[in-house]
Structure 1
Amino acid sequence: MNLKYYLGRILVRLFGFKNKFSYSQLNEDNVIDWLTGYKEKGTYIDIGAYHPDKISNTKLFYERGWRGINIEPSPIGYKLFCEKRLEDINLNCAVGEGEVEYFGDENESSGATCVKELAAARGITKSRKIKLKPLREIFAENNLRTVDFMTIDVENFEEAVLKSNDWSRYQAAVICLEGGNYKFLKQFGYRLVFWDGNNSYLKLKTV
């Protein structure tokens, strides 16, 4: 663990997020709740959603009455969302442009990735070509122009996801982005407002 991670975790404790109930891995849902103003209802997009209950950045909001879109490329993960998130829109795809090599068994619920180096490090040898769906199409097909927050956890594939959207047309008021690769978003009016040691939290300057 590096110094930035520890500094981020200290911030989480100082703001009191560590003491609150959370479904997320690192209290992401509590940070998002704070940044979105503790709204009773709202909308979200969860890219790399993984599981409807475990390590979920959206379950807290779903239980409160929020609704949104969960995007999970793993067939087993997608099936769980279809069973548990009946009032959400659930998509079985990966986000980006064109096609990509997807490393992982169809029955795996975790560990799958579109990044070859990560797959090798995890000992994943099975792969298949999958067609990526641009983020702008997901907004358009679901008649959305803005959402209250977007969370992105795609194992070092974040830049491809971000570049597949038309940010001048489709936006999220708050973005929780795994890692620190957020420079691309600065040109569209996003600023870094919080760091938890693992995730960057960005907000539109007009929000």
Structure 2
Amino acid sequence: MFPSLAVAARAQAQRYLAYPLYHSARSRASFTQSGLALKEVQMSFRQFFTWSSPVASTLRSLKYVLVGLVRLPLGRSVRLSYGYTGEDRLIESLLKPLVTHNGYYVEVGCNEPRFISNTFLLYRRGWRGICIDANEQLIRKYQRIRPRDQAVCAFVAHGTQALNYMEFANNVLSTADLQYVPQYLAEGQHIARTRQVQPHSLTAILAARNAPARFDLLAIDAEEFDLSVLQSLDFGRYRPRLVLVEAEDFDPIQPLAHPICAFLLPLGYMLKGSLLKNLYFMDVSI
């Protein structure tokens, strides 16, 4: 009896609030932004607090509570983005998640846990997932700053041959592909460390970490190994709704000629668009 009363009360409240909240684009946007800010406040301690570092994690949690509270009265005047060129905002626009939805992501080549991160905004809102990078120092930062994620130190590729992985001081340039190294060195970059890595398939990593078969987002920024990362995933076993992948050589005039498009389109994905050096594909197989 009581559950049915609760459902009826919720339906009545939705009917009562529908017009004042959704009668215009402005009121709807304000309502949504307020809900997101409250969600960020609500999730701060859950996402950032850890008993392994209680003082630092408490301060970090309070920091994001404060950020959420500041955003609450300001609404769309303060719209956050941690991505390099607003990738996280585009992810939101394509997935259109409900405010109450706590989604799941997999990020390959995740780099920094906050700075130019495609998934940190989602993490602040209660999402979790698997973040993979070959740089051990970055993975340790993930374990400290984003304790609810599964941070994995691994080099992901379709193949079994060991590779020499070069970690540049500018860690976004770290790579196992030699073709751009002379250019980076000529620009004044320097190699901090070189080590041998054994590639792992993305399928094996997801299986070892008990990833769900269907999840919201797969984001890939693996320098020259982006296609190889895709080839290492069994799409019959794991199915992301949205795939974001870097493709610096993409030509929008001939989209079907790009090998990443040639790989994903037959698997039931549609190219939703490209912006700067990223491609966005949505699963249309369901």
TM-score surpassing 0.5?
A: yes
Q: CA deviation at 1:201?
A: 0.2
Pick from 169, 175, 181 the counterpart of residue 119 of structure 1. Answer: 181
Q: Does 1:27 align with 2:105?
A: no
Q: Does 1:132 align with 2:191?
A: no
- Amino acid corresponding to residue 102 of structure 1 in structure 2: Y
- Amino acid corresponding to residue 236 of structure 2 in structure 1: S
Q: CA deviation at 1:185?
A: 1.1
Partner of residue 270, structure 2 = 191
- Amino acid corresponding to residue 23 of structure 1 in structure 2: Y
Q: Alignment length, in residue pairs?
A: 188
Deviations, residues 118-176 of structure 1 (Å, cap 9, x unaligned): 22221256532201110111221122212100110111211111111111111211011
Distance 1:83 1:138, change over 3 A: same
Which structure is higher in helix share? 2
Separation in structure 2 between the aligned mates of residue 91 and residue 186 of structure 1, nearest angstrom: 28
Asked whether the 8 Å contact 1:46–1:150 carries over to 2, the reply is yes
Partner of residue 142, structure 1 = 209
- Amino acid corresponding to residue 66 of structure 1 in structure 2: W
* SS at 2:173 equivalent: coil
- Amino acid corresponding to residue 112 of structure 2 in structure 1: H
Separation in structure 1 between the aligned mates of residue 214 and residue 180 of structure 2, nearest angstrom: 32
* SS at 1:174 equivalent: strand
Pick from 215, 231, 242 the counterpart of residue 174 of structure 1. Answer: 242
| Larger Cα-atom Rg | 2
The RMSD of aligned alpha carbons is: 1.8
Separation in structure 1 between the aligned mates of residue 277 and residue 172 of structure 2, nearest angstrom: 18
Normalised to the residue count of structure 2, the TM-score between the two structures is 0.62
Separation in structure 1 between the aligned mates of residue 195 and residue 134 of structure 2, nearest angstrom: 12
Q: CA deviation at 1:100?
A: 1.9
Separation in structure 1 between the aligned mates of residue 135 and residue 219 of structure 2, nearest angstrom: 17
Separation in structure 2 between the aligned mates of residue 132 and residue 171 of structure 1, nearest angstrom: 21
Which structure is higher in strand share? 1
Partner of residue 3, structure 1 = none
The higher relative CO (CA closer than 8 Å, separation ≥ 6) is in 1
- Amino acid corresponding to residue 59 of structure 1 in structure 2: F
- Amino acid corresponding to residue 100 of structure 1 in structure 2: L
Normalised to the residue count of structure 1, the TM-score between the two structures is 0.84
Separation in structure 1 between the aligned mates of residue 79 and residue 243 of structure 2, nearest angstrom: 21
Pick from 97, 101, 120 the counterpart of residue 38 of structure 1. Answer: 97
1:1-207 matches, cutoff 5 A: 20-39=79-98, 40-96=101-157, 97-98=159-160, 99-104=162-167, 109-123=171-185, 124=190, 127-144=194-211, 145-179=213-247, 180=250, 181-206=260-285
Asked whether the 8 Å contact 1:48–1:72 carries over to 2, the reply is yes
Q: Which runs of 5+ in 2 are unaligned?
A: 1-77, 251-259
Asked whether the 8 Å contact 1:76–1:109 carries over to 2, the reply is no
Structure 1 stretch 121-130 or stretch 34-43: which is displaced more?
A: 121-130
- Amino acid corresponding to residue 119 of structure 1 in structure 2: V
Q: CA deviation at 1:108?
A: 6.2
